[in-house]
Copies of this chain bind each other. A is one copy, B any other.
């Protein structure tokens, strides 16, 4: 009745299981209430332990946040690059697939959306993280856009840099409205509409 919370044999396994559960709970909590709004106690409880129990694994709330972000970012960034490479010469299709996938994980989308806006304040713990993230991700896209323009897939009358910013803007903006009214906003559909406008034929 006391040690049923994480019944694993080895310590390494228990640690890993606990950390995973904590991160999972933290994602939910941060997504629902943001960094400042989320309570460590709730996260701990949802992960099946107490507040100090949680703090044994992550020394502070801020550390937990950063771990959560790094963890998700690693996964997402890889997915993005993979998707881009998979549909290599079809950049726009890759983008649509990405948005489609996002429709599967509203919690994560909300997490990043909320934390991005929160982190605009320079004193937010994730401030630098997100600036770097945007620059890095935009950089990847710019590379891909250059290639797509050379291959004649995308209209060439707009600079790759501008296109990258615009594509991210559309993604982010659609996410906001979609999160508010999920069944009313067809995020992937609308994104595709936009992407079609970027195809080479419709350029001058």
How many copies of this chain does one complex carry? 2
CB of B110 within 8 A of CB of A114, answer: no
Contacts of A202 in B (CB 8 A): 197, 202-204
In the bound assembly, the distance between CA atoms of A130 and B176 in angstroms comes to 11
In the bound assembly, the distance between CA atoms of A36 and B166 in angstroms comes to 30
Chain A contact-residue range equals 35 or more
Which of A118, A162, A169, A171: most chain B CB closer than 10 A? A169
Contacts of A203 in B (CB 8 A): 202
Which residues on A are within 8 Å of B, measured CB to CB? Answer: 32-34, 36-37, 110, 113-114, 116-118, 120-121, 130-131, 134, 158, 162, 165-166, 168-174, 176-177, 179-181, 185, 190, 193-194, 197, 201-204
- Ordered by A's residue number, 6 sampled pairs between the chains whose C-beta atoms are within 8 Å are A32-B121, A34-B36, A36-B36, A110-B117, A158-B193, A169-B177
